[in-house]
Each structure stands twice: as structure tokens, then as C-alpha cells.
Chain A
Amino acid sequence: MKLRTPISPHIHIRTTVTTVMLRVVAALIPGIVVYAWLFGAGVVINILFAIAVALTCEALMLKARGRPLRPFMSDGSAVVTAVLLAVALPPLSPWWLTLIGIAFAIVVAKHLFGGLGHNPFNPAMVAYVMLLISFPREMVLWAPPTALAEPPLDLMETLRAIFLGHYPGALSIDALSMATPLDQVKTQLGLEQSVAQTLAASPAFGILAGRGWEWINLAFLAGGVWLLRKRIIGWQIPVAMLGALAAMATIFYVIDPEHYASPLFHLLSGAAILGAFFIATDPVTAATTPRGRLIFGAGIGILTYVIRTWGGYPDGVAFAVLLMNMAAPTIDYYTQPRVYGRK
């Protein structure tokens, strides 16, 4: 009789890395559904294509690095990266844009830095920034919400647009796209228009923020709250990030509402909600101590506002996340909690 002699504890809860990752994906679904409902099938096609590319790259890299395929392919981390990057890309992005982005995220940002658990930067955001810098034109060609498009593309037209670059009729991608609300506010402010004038003049704006975007963001918020309740993420990062963003927006909005958008507009536009609950909370790259998470989240919120308002890009979540990723180890070191029995 051979007795096994593992070290204590001898029991374990059921949660695994796969559980954690799949719950994150599940929490993204409501937002994706609303997104696809408003922007068409391109959203879903992008995501599925991105997942396929991500898993392929993951398998190739695991093989190249001599890591076992089974545990790492089933951990779900590549899927999370794929979905997060795909929802950040314009819905009618050409296939090669997605391919380059995902390959860069998995191969460079993740595996070249040591793979799961070792990458200092959020892979999806590294890839997003790389695409934004390398392909600025493609990255801002957002199709309008289907309600504003005339006529909306059907499934086959969408597939042709993404994979063949063929657009219905004599239209080009430029004709099909329009600026995002954040983009529009930024451009119009540059043209000496007030925020209120911009919002009133364009059909791209809805009740709370950008038309459609407000509902997508509320759906992502619902998913994020569910993750909080399931204790997959802590409350510190989302609360600190959104709180800091809202605080910054409130200060400037109170001072000068003509030239600064409202806090609500900032919270429900761009990647603020997605970033707060799904991107900044990536445990591998975020600060890990409770107080550190508050500082980390607040830093992202402040930087996002700064970049949106005074920077060169309409949204700043990706840059803000990467900048704070850099600061995370230092933040952790200086925010150790007080240990039992120590002063």
C-alpha cells in the first residue's frame, strides 16, 4: 500500500484559474449583446475571429516555450484577452487589424514576458495601443450605431466588409463610419464649439452620453457588478477609477461647463466602464494590495481624464492602464497592509 504524502492543506475549494477567466468572459456577455444589437453582427464576428486567432497563437507559443498545452490552453486567459481587445476595436475593422492586434497581444505582450502571470502590462491594452499608433486611420473608423446607418449592413455584407474589404454599393469605409462621441466632443471643442452645442448638433449623442454607448456601458456595468458580487474582482479598482474620473470631471465641469463635458458623459463614454471593471482589474498587471488598488484605480481615472481632455487621443483608458501597470510593483511595495501584531 502506497500512502500519498502531500503537504497540508489537504482540501481545496473548487475555483480554478479557468473559473476566474470564464466568469470574466461571462460578465462581458451582456455588454457584448447590447453592443452587437446596436452596432450589428460585426461585433460578434470580430470577437469570434479574435478568439480563434488568440487560441492559435497561444498554442503555438506554448509549444515553442515547451509548456504543457492542456492546462494552459484551458485556463481561459487567452480568450479574455481576445474578447477585451475585440470589443475595443471598431465593429467593421478589417480582419488583418484584429489578427495583428491579437497576435501582438499573445505573442509579444504575454508570452515574451513569461506567459500567464508574468506579463507586466495588460496584453489587450498593449495591443490596442500598438494598433492605435500603427494604424490610426483604421482605429477610428467606427461604424455608426445601426439605427443611424442607412441602410444597416446585413450579416453577409458585414462578413464581406471585414474579410474582403468589400462594402455594399459604391460606399467606402469612410462613408460608413462616423466619429465616436468622445472624438466628436474633442474635435468640436477644438473648433471653439461648446460641449452643449456639440451634443445638441449631432445625432451621435443620446440621453446620458453617446447614443447607444450609454446602454452598452450600462450593460458592461451590470456585468462588472456581477463580478464584484462573485468576488472575482475587488471593489477598490473600479470604485477608485470611476470615482477619480468623476471627481476630475466634476471639478472642471463645475468651473466651466461650456468647455468640459459632464461627469456622467465621461463615465458612460468610451472605455471607462469596461476599463474599470474588466481591464484595470486584470489581477496580473494591477496593484495587488487593498490600498494599492485604490491608488492604482485612482491613477487610471485621473490619467484617463487628463488624456481625454488635454491629450492627443479621444480616449485615454488604454494609456492610463499601461502607465499605472508600470507603477504597480512600487505601489504594492509601499502599501503593505498592517500585519497582525505589528505596529
Chain B
Amino acid sequence: MALSGSAGQESGPGVNAKLWRFHGGVHPPQHKAESTGAPVRRARLPKRLVLPLHQHIGEAAEPVVVKGEQVLKGQMIARANGYVSAAVHAPTSGVVLDIGDYPVAHPSGLSASCIVIESDGEERWVERTPVEDYTAINPSHMRNMIREAGIVGLGGAGFPSFIKLNPGPGKVVDTLILNGIECEPYITCDDMLMRERPQDIIAGIHILRHALQAKECVIAIEDNKPDAYRIMSEAVASEEKIRVALCPTIYPQGSEKQLVQVLTGKEVPSNGLPIHVGVVLHNVGTAYAVHRAIHLNEPLISRYVTITGDAMGQTCNLEVLFGTPIIDLLDECAADMARLDRLIVGGPMMGFAMHTVNAPVVKTTNCVLATTTQAMPAAQTAMPCIRCGACMDVCPVNLLPQQLYWHSHAKEFERAQEYSLFDCIECGCCAYVCPSNIPLVQYYRYAKAEIWAQEREKDRADLARRRHEFRIERMEREKAERAARLQKKKADVAAGGTKQKGDDKDSKKNAIQAAVERARVKKEAVTNEADPSSEVEDSDKKLD
């Protein structure tokens, strides 16, 4: 595979390592240079910070502070609720103003529970206990520390990191991949982090390797980041079993499964995880956060955020405290609010357009992309699909997007599943190249949502049906038993006539006798008890 660009000539480790290709992929315009001109600086301290309780995949965190409470920088304000969850910490010192619903960065545009902190401007930290030697801590305790620090995957998905650091019993981690691909156009926060904090990332890698007992580590960087590649290569020069892989730029290479294929040639099974092929992936930003959490005992309270787009007066990367309202960043970077048309959180391929400028930056906010209609004109009218297959040629999962579209459009969801709908990673390559301008991803999300809804409905219906069947069965059984009893009674009446009463007394007497007998037998031989008891049980029933 040809390595293009000046970076290819660098003699860093990993240059000669074999790389594989994944199917398809696209090459959208990069727009990376706009935001890499200046060093990263800290964003202004906001007056109010809005911290959603749900900034990650899994259960929302549970508040551990109350309204009016004083908090310190780094103090936990909401704890993880269950296994798949992450804690939230106060990004600065101040007072809890409110706990309630506020607008958040979510495609739905709905509000969600947040803790609002008014900063006092003093940035007073909680007491911290940095770890001198991470090797002295056992992996399990290490994972717990990372969990307590509220660290989630910083590449965009926000899956709690400690879970991915627990490969499970019997699983061997051959390769730890540090994802510095950053394949989405416009976004450069990982690029800048690698350029500015190589040693901290390496320190984080050491901790991750220790927790995972990984055999080797590969830092993957696309060849559109020659500076980051050079700096990281120099940083790992003296390291053992850590190398840097320079990957030819192609979207969506940063997607977990695609990157595993590029670096190892292995495919992660459908519905499986990278660990099933001996690989664990973490974002470079996550490694940096882990380093800070362990070596400095700082929880995750800020991140690098790319501020870019043609509506932005100043394009750059900022270190932003979580909870900082996006409007503050727009202000600070002199956004042209009159021409602002689309405000995207994330990149142009997979990011979502926000309904409001008031939502806060959260753990997964890697980029704030403010554009005008000039850079991103409204989509043209969608034309019918002509089945040209351009989507199929670029699908990184090797799906048939044209068939998925056809069946999703016709609401033939079972057919769509036959075409592996749920293997779709929603990377947007298909919609990006579609000559008919069909919003394909929208159709797939719709189909998936409908199928989930149908399955839930089916589960409910199944449960109701099982209950109903069970009830019918029980009622029939009872009816049959009643009928049998009645029959027996009638037969007894017919046979016994006046003797019936006496018989009844006799049977009671017999039963009592049997019980007495049983007690006696039990006393005599504790081991021998099965037969008489069952007999007595039978006679008991008849007495009812």
C-alpha cells in the first residue's frame, strides 16, 4: 500500500508494517488546516456550566449534590448508576444553581436532566492524590479509578472506558490500538492533542496496557496528519512494543471495525466486539484522560474541542470545560451569527445539526462546526433511486445500500434485515455519493427504529399470549378437575347411599391414623420417609 506525502519518508517505527484495506470508503474534502494554525488554548471560564447527567452510552448518572451546595473543581456531582454508566464531576468550583431539564446536544432537540453550576471564578480543586507508580496498582483497582474519574471514549461514542479495559476472563489482548485516525473532515482535536501532548498520551498508553496486559500497542494516524505522525513516532522511538502506523487517508477509517481490519487484516464478527479478535481500541484522547486521572488524580472535566466552519470568525482548537454552553464558544470565536445556518456537533459525515446554540459541550463533543449555506448548501431534491450502485461501491461494510433503501422505503423490514440492515454503521458514505441525493442514512435509522419497536411490541404480545394461554390451560384443568370430583361424588352417592356419611368419617379417621402412623415411622427411621408422606398427601387432597 502506497504511503503518500512527506510523512511516508520518515523512518519511524511502523512505516513498513503491512496494512490492509477495507471495502469502499470515500475521500471528502478535508478542511483540517483551518483549525490547526494556532496552539490549543483554554476556553474562557463560563459563568454557568450545564452538565447533563447523560453524556455517555448507558444509564444516566445519579446526582450526589443538592441545589445550593458548594462544589469544588473535580468534585463528583453525579455517580455512575449501574455498570454501564459514568460519573460526572464539577468542572470548576462554584454553587449548584439547579438540577433540572435543560437543552442538550442531542439530535432530538429535547431537553434532559442537567446539573447547573455557577462558577465562582476561583477554580478551587478538591484534594487530589496522584499515583506515583501505576504498576503498583492492580488492574482491577486501576479500572475502578478510571471509572471513578468518569472517563468515557472520547472519539465520539462515549462508551465507559473502564468496561473496555476489562477484557474478561480467558481473553488475551494481542493488540491495543490507539485510535488517532480522526477521519471525519474538519475535526482536528486528536491531531492537536498528539502534536502537543505526546508524552502524556504515551503515559496513558502505559496505564492502558497495564490494565489490559496487552502484548503490543499500535497508534494509528492518517497520513493527512504528518506533524502528529512525526511527533508521535519520535515519542515512541524509545518505547518497547509501541509503534505508530501511518494509514492512507480514507473515510471512515476511524470506525472501530474498519480500523481493526486495516491494522490486523481481521474482521470483527458481526454483532461481535474487537476483543473477539484479540483487539481493544481506545481513542488517543482517552489515553490522555487516563493519564491525567491516574498520574494527576484529575477526573474527566474538560477536553479538546475543534471550533471550525466558515461561519466561525476564528477557527481553532480549545480546551473546553464540560458544561460550557456552545453559545459561549461561538462568542469567543466571533461566529457570524447572522450567516450561521447549520450548527453541527461532530463532523460533517456523522455529526448532528443542533436545534439550539444553548446546549453545552459534553464528554463526546469533539467538534463544533458552524457553517453557512455557502459551505453547506441545502440538500437538493431527492430523486428516485436509479440503482446505480455508487453507494454499494463505497460501503465500508460491503452492504447493498440500494437494496436496503428499496426495502426500507417499502417498509419491508424483514427483507431489509435479510440484507444485513443492522450491520450498517451509519457512516454516511452511501448518502454522500448518491447521485439521486437520497438521505439514505435516514431511511436506515427509520427502518432500525421500526424493527426495534416491532420487536418490543412482539415481546409484549408474546408475553400476553403466553399468559393468556397459561390462564386458559389453568381454567380448563380446573374445570376438568371439578368435573372429575363431581363425577366421583355422584358415583359415591350412587354406590353408598346412606353409608356415605359413615364412609366419610371413616376416611377422616383413616387419614388421622395415617398421620399418626407417619409420625411414628419418622421417629423410628428418619431415613425412610418418602412413601408414607406421599400417601398421606394424596389422602389430604381427597379430604378437601
Contact = CB atoms under 8 A, between A and B. Distances in A.
B386 A284 contact: yes
A289 interface: yes
B261 A337 contact: no
B375 to A, nearest CB: 9
Interface stretch (B33-41, B175-183, B236-244, B392-400): B392-400
A11 B378 contact: no
A283 interface: yes
Given A3-B357, A117-B387, A340-B257, A11 B348 contact: yes
B340 A288 contact: no
Interface string B438-453: 0101100100000000
A255 interface: no
A9 B436 contact: no
A116, A332, A337, A340 — most chain B CB neighbours (10 Å)? A340
A12 B379 contact: yes
Interface in A16-37: 16-17, 19-20
Contact of B272 (A289, A332, A341): A341
Given A337-B398, A341-B423, A117 B342 contact: no
Given A339-B397, A342-B420, A117 B354 contact: no
Contact of B340 (A1, A5, A12, A71): A1
A134 interface: no
A32 B239 CA distance: 66
A3 B342 CA distance: 6
- Name A's interface SS: loop
Contact of B436 (A7, A17, A336): A17
B337 A8 contact: no
B22 interface: yes
Interface stretch (B117-125, B160-168, B426-434): B426-434
A12 B348 CA distance: 10
Contact of B396 (A283, A284, A340): A340
Given A288-B402, A342-B270, A336 B432 contact: no
A8 B428 contact: yes
Contact of A288 (B352, B371, B400): B400
Contacts of B109: 5
A4 interface: yes
A6 interface: yes
Contacts of A340: 22-23, 257, 261, 267, 270, 396-398, 423
A342 B437 CA distance: 29
Contacts of B389: 234, 283, 288
A183 interface: no
Contacts of B58: none
B435 interface: yes
Contacts of B402: 288
B204 interface: no
Interface in B361-410: 371, 376, 378-381, 383-390, 392-393, 396-400, 402-403
B343 interface: yes
Interface string B330-355: 00000001001111101011111111
A11 B272 contact: no
A17 B268 CA distance: 36
B337 A289 contact: no
Given A288-B387, A342-B423, A3 B348 contact: no
B170 interface: no
Nearest to A335: B400
A338 interface: yes
A75 interface: yes
B509 to A, nearest CB: 72
B342 A4 contact: yes
Given A3-B343, A337-B398, A10 B348 contact: yes
Nearest to A7: B442
Contacts of B384: 115-118
Contacts of B399: 339
A193 to B, nearest CB: 45
A191 interface: no
B392 A289 contact: yes
Contact of A7 (B22, B396, B419, B439): B439
B345 to A, nearest CB: 11
Given A1-B340, A284-B387, A341-B270, A289 B357 contact: no
Interface residues of A, number: 42
A17 B349 contact: no
B28 interface: yes
A341 B269 contact: yes
A307 B383 CA distance: 37
Given A3-B356, A16-B435, A339-B397, A10 B376 contact: yes
B313 interface: no
Contacts of B355: 3, 5
B351 A8 contact: yes
Contacts of B420: 339, 342
B335 to A, nearest CB: 11
A238 to B, nearest CB: 14
Given A3-B340, A7-B442, A340-B398, A283 B378 contact: no
Nearest to B429: A9
B380 A336 contact: no
B348 A9 contact: yes
A277 B357 CA distance: 52
Contacts of B441: 7-9
Contacts of B268: 341
Contact of A339 (B340, B385, B398, B428): B398
A10 B344 contact: yes
B386 A341 contact: no
Nearest to B415: A333
Contact of B386 (A5, A20, A336, A339): A20
A44 B92 CA distance: 77
Contacts of B272: 341
B532 interface: no
B349 A8 contact: yes
Contacts of B343: 3
A4, A16, A77, A342 — most chain B CB neighbours (10 Å)? A4
B392 to A, nearest CB: 7
A288 B398 CA distance: 13
B185 interface: yes
Given A3-B353, A5-B352, A341-B269, 7 more contacts: A1-B337, A4-B378, A8-B349, A72-B383, A332-B403, A341-B270, A342-B269
Interface of A: 1, 3-13, 15-17, 19-20, 68, 71-72, 75, 77, 115-118, 231, 234, 283-284, 286, 288-290, 332, 336-342
21 contacts: A3-B354, A5-B352, A7-B107, A7-B439, A7-B442, A8-B350, A8-B352, A10-B344, A11-B29, A16-B437, A19-B435, A117-B385, A117-B387, A283-B387, A288-B387, A288-B389, A288-B392, A289-B392, A337-B400, A340-B261, A341-B270
A-B pairs, 10 with minimum CB distance: A117-B384, A9-B428, A341-B270, A5-B353, A283-B388, A10-B348, A340-B397, A339-B420, A9-B349, A11-B348
